[in-house]
Amino acid sequence: MPAVLSRRNCFDTFSTSSRIVPHTPINTMSNPALTIKLEPVASGVARPSAGTTPLVIEKDGQSAWLHIPQNASAGPLPLLVVLHGAGKGTYWTLEEGHMSVSDWAGRANKHGCAVLYPAARGSTWDYISSGRKEHKDFEFVTHAINTARRTVPIDDRRIALLGISDGGSMALSLVSHNPKVFQAAMSISAGFCSDPPCAAPGAPKMFIKHGAADSMFPLKRVGLPLRDKLVALGYEVEHRVGKGDGGIFGPAGHVPPGWQEEFLPAWLAMRAE
């Protein structure tokens, strides 16, 4: 069973040997480099006809792919934004394998949600490769999200981020800094969450998974402290631990099988508020 940890007030304190100690250093400010802004969208956006997906969104040489479910019920759609891991063009490609863009068409149809898959300019997200100084990739992600919202009717109450490895770290970071934009983060094998602010009432839910035998981001050294940090800040966290064989692609490893759909049913079952 996954560990579901309830929200706590991050301003609470606890007593240790008669001393009052804060749970964690408190950050109440969001990071401008991690800000995603939703633009106004005209009402009455029509859904594109069947057979037109994926739609390609491009700007300044950067691309994102938008999959639209073909048999979804009428009305605004949930939007899933997928953030890939490190190694694009070196260890994997967007054309095939576990990071394949085209495979998301079937998942969009299966779950009845629109799927937006942006690609970083480099092998990973520039916020990470620049030592948390650059954020041009997220300017493009913002552009892609708003373009998707102008292209297909999207339920703005039901936008979520899913990421693996570096993408998982950025999913947690972006969602925690944009609580009015995202309903949830789904993070597989994340290494960090960048200076998350204290959770306010109604904060997004954090779905997190780490492998028990992940050698890149070990569970005890990385996964559990990351979980505990977010809980101490007041976030509701569902944390799952992959068990079994390790390695890169084992169920307890860094890129577990089925990571793409690990949390989708749980997110989609959430009530829009």
Percentage of residues of the chain with pLDDT beyond 70:
88
Q: Which segment of 32-46, 125-139, 213-227, 228-242 scores lowest on mean pLDDT?
A: 32-46
Whole-number mean pLDDT of the chain? Answer: 88
pLDDT of residue 51: 61
CA–CA distances in Å: residue 6 to residues 64, 103, 199, 206, 230:
35, 34, 12, 11, 10
Under a CB-based contact definition with an 8 Å cutoff, are residues 161 and 81 in contact? yes
Q: Which segment of 6-20, 100-114, 196-210, 216-230 scores lowest on mean pLDDT?
A: 6-20
Across residues 168-186, what is the average pLDDT? Answer: 98
Across residues 192-218, what is the average pLDDT? Answer: 96
If you write DSSP's letter for every residue of 70-119 in order, what string do you get? Answer: SSPPSSPEEEEEEE--S-BTTTB-SSSGGG-STTHHHHHHHHT-EEEEE-
CA–CA distances in Å: residue 14 to residues 18, 25, 201, 235, 257:
10, 13, 21, 18, 39
User: 237 — phi, psi (to 5°)?
Assistant: -125, 130
| Span between the terminal Cα atoms of the chain, in Å | 26
Tell me whether strands 77-83 and 154-164 are parallel, antiparallel or unpaired. Answer: parallel
pLDDT of residue 18: 25
What radius of gyration, in Å, describes the C-alpha atoms of the chain?
A: 18
One-letter amino acid identity for 116?
L
pLDDT exceeds cutoff 70 at 95: yes
Across residues 157-181, what is the average pLDDT? Answer: 97
Under a CB-based contact definition with an 8 Å cutoff, are residues 185 and 161 in contact? yes
What's the predicted TM-score (pTM) here? Answer: 0.89
pLDDT exceeds cutoff 70 at 8: no
Per-residue model confidence as pLDDT tens digits over 40-80:
998 878 777 656 679 999 999 999 999 999 887 778 999 99
Percentage of residues of the chain with pLDDT beyond 90:
72
pLDDT exceeds cutoff 70 at 143: yes
Across residues 150-163, what is the average pLDDT? Answer: 96
